[in-house]
Structure 1
Amino acid sequence: MSRNLPVTLHDIYLARARIAGQAARTPLIRSHALSARFEAEVYLKLETLQPTGAFKLRGALNCIAALDSAQLERGVTTASTGNHGRAVAWAAARLGARAIICVSELVPRNKVAAIEALGAEARVIGRSQDDAFVEARRLVDEEGMALIEPFDDPLITAGQGTIGLELMEDLPELDQVLIGLSGGGLLGGIGRAVKGINPAVQVNGISMMAGAAMIESLAVGHPVAVEEQESLADSLGGGIGLENRVTFALVREVMDRHFQVSEPAIARAMVHFFEQEKMLVEGAAAIGVAALEEHRLDIRGQRVALIVSGNGIDADTFMRARDMAAD
């Protein structure tokens, strides 16, 4: 697949073949609590059960598996503080490639240790994510390593789209899907898959109130820089890239509706998962429940899937969410 071409349904089927036996085919379970509350059939797609705890593994595996043997020998690199960095480290180890994950000095030591535990080198550079990306790009230019983008790459997006194939196989009567929206790789990939199989499926993107780069970019018709804001859904922060090549156009094409949710709504949704679903999930994974509640979405009688995207949360963050939800 050329990295300058749109992501097709065929690309997503090819991605599934590449990652088979590596990424998990995650379960789709019915939420009894949410189904009763909203008088609908509400299902949870548990990407929390990936080996690295988040959906990012699918895209990283697809991207690295598409490299030839010479490129695998030279290795792969990226800059990340969280789920993407762990996914690249895990995928590289499984596929026999050297990996250097560039992080800034602000990344907590426990996150650096988690990357190293997966067999990658964590290279600490500068005081920001931008500084870390400068080093990653130097490794590409000077050492010939392959840069594994976090989202704006057709191979990454096609990998995330394999979630959509599984959704349609497990729930062919799907009416709506609610997906956290950040850089657009997850929503774009899933949207392409489900609409490629059934164009009537409604694809809903969910963002936090502040720092939602994709939705602000869509509003003005081109990618824009947005100041990142602190949020319980921190995985949805960050920009989409002013030179975005793939996900901006794809999200604009496949997304039907978009909702922004408040921090208290995200907090209540996280507590719901803990108390009712018996799951500890990050804010970005709970954001579909936040949208159902805060926007009082009428889904009565429908079959609705929520993408539970990851479990990258620590005890302090959950306690903060619980306190906020109680206010």
Structure 2
Amino acid sequence: MVVAAGLSQVPCGDGAVGLATIEAAQARIAGEVLRTPLIRSAALSAAGSPVHLKLETHQGTGSFKLRGATNAVLSLDPPARARGLVTASTGNHGRALAHAARAQGVRAVICMSRLVPANKVAAVEALGAEVRIVGRSQDEAQLEVARLVREEGLTEVPPFDHAAVVAGQGTIGLEIVADLADVALVLVPLSGGGLAAGVAAAVKGLRPQARVIGVSMRRGAAMQASLAAGRPVAVEEVETLADSLGGGIGLDNRLTFALCRDLLDGVVLLDEAEIAAGIRHVFAAEGEVVEGAGAVGIAALLAGKVEAHGPVAVVVSGGNIDAAAHRRIIEGAA
């Protein structure tokens, strides 16, 4: 999975995502989201190549998802927004869409499965969105989304397989290259592919020689399984410390599968103990509270699963972890 040098637009069934659309997203969401810091990690850099952490944990909703949701909502025409918004979410996208909808004064309905942690459900409700708990997987929650679109006319804002969402997440890549012009390797959490695809499109559009590697949990890694099969496949969703990376990519995936296939230079999978080690390390060494999905890039470095030859940027995607669960992990109970 290696991109050709100089690639700036990747055609897909849902349009094209590349520098032009990502730069337009950056202009659109300016002032609505935080330009997050890229900090050098002394602890992770000690072994050799300099390592920098892109702290999306500092976003107002605690994760990168605010970028894509905000860009998608602002890209809608007024009648589509006025009908109300709906999505399926493992937590962070729902919180981001609730935030963006409240900013525009429109209704938002967030459909989530029973696997979503209670703290993430509460955070969505606190922003005034309506929450529907449906089934035990994101795929089951998506069925409720389809019903609400069909019967109530709500406008769907998907969590990842949507050009405006991918472009919004891609603004992270623009910021990484602006702050670390000689970046050689970017590690990015991989789930449905919106974040990984957007970051890869931006980074490789500006710096084709850089490698971008997706990192996921071993349990229920739907995008990795789909890439291995050469087509979108269904994977059972199970509990994992990296809960935000759960869920399928959709058997009718129109955008992110092709982008990840064409742009990623590889995928790394982690077991639960390795993810827990990443959470503990970033808390002890960097003073950051990070959820499992946000810690996977750091965990991959600690586990020696990636080789770095030059400056590294790690996307720390979110910090929305239940406080009690975080305490148990820090104390070594997970």
TM-score category of the 2 structures, normalised to the smaller one: over 0.9
Alignment of 1:38-57 (within 5 A): 38-57=47-66
Q: Structure 2: give runs of 5+ residues left out of the alignment.
A: 1-10
The amino acid of 1:148's aligned partner reads V
CA distance in 1, matches of 2:200, 2:114: 36
1:251 corresponds in structure 2 to: 260
Say which is worse superposed, 273-282 or 308-317, in terms of deviation: 308-317
2:314 corresponds in structure 1 to: 306
Alignment of 1:283-322 (within 5 A): 283-295=292-304, 297-299=306-308, 302-322=310-330
Alignment of 1:277-288 (within 5 A): 277-288=286-297
After superposition, the Cα gap between the structure-2 partners of 1:258 and 1:94, relative to the gap in structure 1 and judged at 3 Å, is same
1:107 Cα deviation from its structure 2 partner: 5.2
After superposition, the Cα gap between the structure-2 partners of 1:169 and 1:93, relative to the gap in structure 1 and judged at 3 Å, is same
CA distance in 1, matches of 2:112, 2:218: 27
CA-to-partner distance for each residue in 1:74-124, whole Å, 9 max, x for gaps? 111112241011000001111232212223466565544322221222234
The amino acid of 2:329's aligned partner reads A
Q: Structure 1: give runs of 5+ residues left out of the alignment.
A: none
2:10 pairs with 1:4: no
CA-to-partner distance for each residue in 1:176-195, whole Å, 9 max, x for gaps? 10011111110100000000
2:31 corresponds in structure 1 to: 21
Q: How many matched pairs? A: 324
Say which is worse superposed, 302-311 or 288-297, in terms of deviation: 288-297
8 Å CA contact 1:3–1:155 kept in 2: the answer is: no
TM-score (norm 2): 0.91
1:190 corresponds in structure 2 to: 199
1:33 corresponds in structure 2 to: 43
1:4 Cα deviation from its structure 2 partner: 1.6
1:64 Cα deviation from its structure 2 partner: 0.7
Q: Helix, strand or coil for the counterpart of 1:101?
A: strand
8 Å CA contact 1:12–1:158 kept in 2: the answer is: yes
CA distance in 1, matches of 2:83, 2:74: 14
8 Å CA contact 1:177–1:201 kept in 2: the answer is: yes
CA-to-partner distance for each residue in 1:127-160, whole Å, 9 max, x for gaps? 6544433332222122221101010111111110
2:67 pairs with 1:69: no
The amino acid of 1:317's aligned partner reads A
8 Å CA contact 2:138–2:248 kept in 1: the answer is: no
Alignment of 1:69-148 (within 5 A): 69-104=78-113, 110-125=119-134, 129-148=138-157
The amino acid of 1:14's aligned partner reads A
The amino acid of 1:308's aligned partner reads V
After superposition, the Cα gap between the structure-2 partners of 1:63 and 1:2, relative to the gap in structure 1 and judged at 3 Å, is farther
Q: Helix, strand or coil for the counterpart of 1:205?
A: strand
